[in-house]
Amino acid sequence: MRSLGVGLLLLVALAGWCAASEEFDFPPPQFSQGYEYPHVSKPSPRPDWLVYVDIGVLAAALGLAAWLALGRRHRRGLALLAVFSVLYFGFFRHGCICSVGAIQNVALAAFGSDYALPMVAGAFFLLPLLFALLFGRVFCAGVCPLGAAQEIVLLRPLRVPRWLENGLGVAPYVYLGAAVLFAGTGSAFIICDYDPFILFYRLAGSRGMLVLGLVVLLTATVIGRPYCRYLCPYGVLLRWLAPFARWRVRITPQDCISCHLCAKACPYGAIRAPTPEPGAVPRHVGRGRLAALLALIPVFVVLGGWLANVGSPILARAHPSVRLANRLWLEEQGRVEAKTEATEAFEQHERPTVEAYRTAAAIHARFRVGAWAFGGWLGLVLGIRLVGQAIRRHRSEYDADPAACVACGRCYAACPVQPTRENALGLPGASERS
384 binds another protein (CB under 8 A): no
Stretch that binds another protein, among 44-52, 147-155, 226-234, 297-305 (CB under 8 A): 44-52
SS3 271: strand
Residue 167 identity (one-letter amino acid):
G
Binding mask 305-344 for another protein (x = CB under 8 A): ---------------xx------------------xxx-x
Query: How crowded is the C-beta side of 39, counted as CA atoms within 13 Å?
Result: 3
CB–CB of 195/95 below 8 Å? yes
Which uninterrupted H or E stretch holds 272? strand 271-272
175 binds another protein (CB under 8 A): no
Of 19, 26, 350, 428, the one binding another protein (CB under 8 A) is 26
User: Measured between alpha carbons, how far is residue 258 from residues 184, 276, 397 in Å?
Assistant: 48, 14, 7
Return the number of the residue (26 or 163) whose C-beta is nearest another protein.
26
CB–CB of 66/131 below 8 Å? yes
113 binds another protein (CB under 8 A): no
Alpha-helical runs (H) found in 97-185? 99-111, 119-135, 138-142, 145-153, 162-168, 171-184
Return the number of the residue (244 or 396) whose C-beta is nearest another protein.
244
Q: How far is the CB of 132 from another protein (least distance, A)?
A: 9
Of 105, 252, 309, 423, the one binding another protein (CB under 8 A) is 105
SS3 400: strand
Closest CA to 318 of 136, 143, 187, 124: 187
Q: How far is the CB of 189 from another protein (least distance, A)?
A: 4
Q: How far is the CB of 403 from another protein (least distance, A)?
A: 13
Q: Which of residues 76-95 bind another protein (CB under 8 A)?
A: 94
- DSSP string for residues in 84-118: HHIIIIIIITTT-S-HHHHHHHHHHHHHSSS-PPP
Stretch that binds another protein, among 145-153, 238-246, 371-379, 409-417 (CB under 8 A): 238-246
Of 220, 236, 241, 405, the one binding another protein (CB under 8 A) is 241
Closest CA to 305 of 378, 222, 357, 251: 378
Return the number of the residue (3 or 348) whose C-beta is nearest another protein.
348
CB–CB of 249/178 below 8 Å? no
Q: How far is the CB of 129 from another protein (least distance, A)?
A: 5
Return the number of the residue (162 or 349) whose C-beta is nearest another protein.
349
Binding mask 392-421 for another protein (x = CB under 8 A): ------------------------------
349 binds another protein (CB under 8 A): yes
Cα distance between residue 244 and residue 73, in whole Å: 20
Closest CA to 251 of 73, 13, 19: 73
110 binds another protein (CB under 8 A): no
Reading phi first (left if > 0) and then psi (alpha if -120 to 50, else beta), residue 198 is in alpha
282 binds another protein (CB under 8 A): no
Of 130, 210, 297, 369, the one binding another protein (CB under 8 A) is 130
Of 179, 188, 301, 408, the one binding another protein (CB under 8 A) is 188
Question: Taking the alpha carbons of 377, 383, 389, 394 in that order, is the dihedral positive or negative?
Answer: negative
Binding mask 288-307 for another protein (x = CB under 8 A): --------------------
- DSSP string for residues in 292-316: HHHHHHHHHHHHHHHHHHHTHHHHG
Where does this chain bind another protein (CB under 8 A)? 20, 23-29, 31-33, 35, 37-38, 40-46, 48, 51, 94, 96-98, 101-102, 104-105, 115-123, 126-127, 129-130, 133-134, 188-189, 192-193, 202, 204-205, 241, 243-246, 320-321, 340-342, 344-346, 348-349
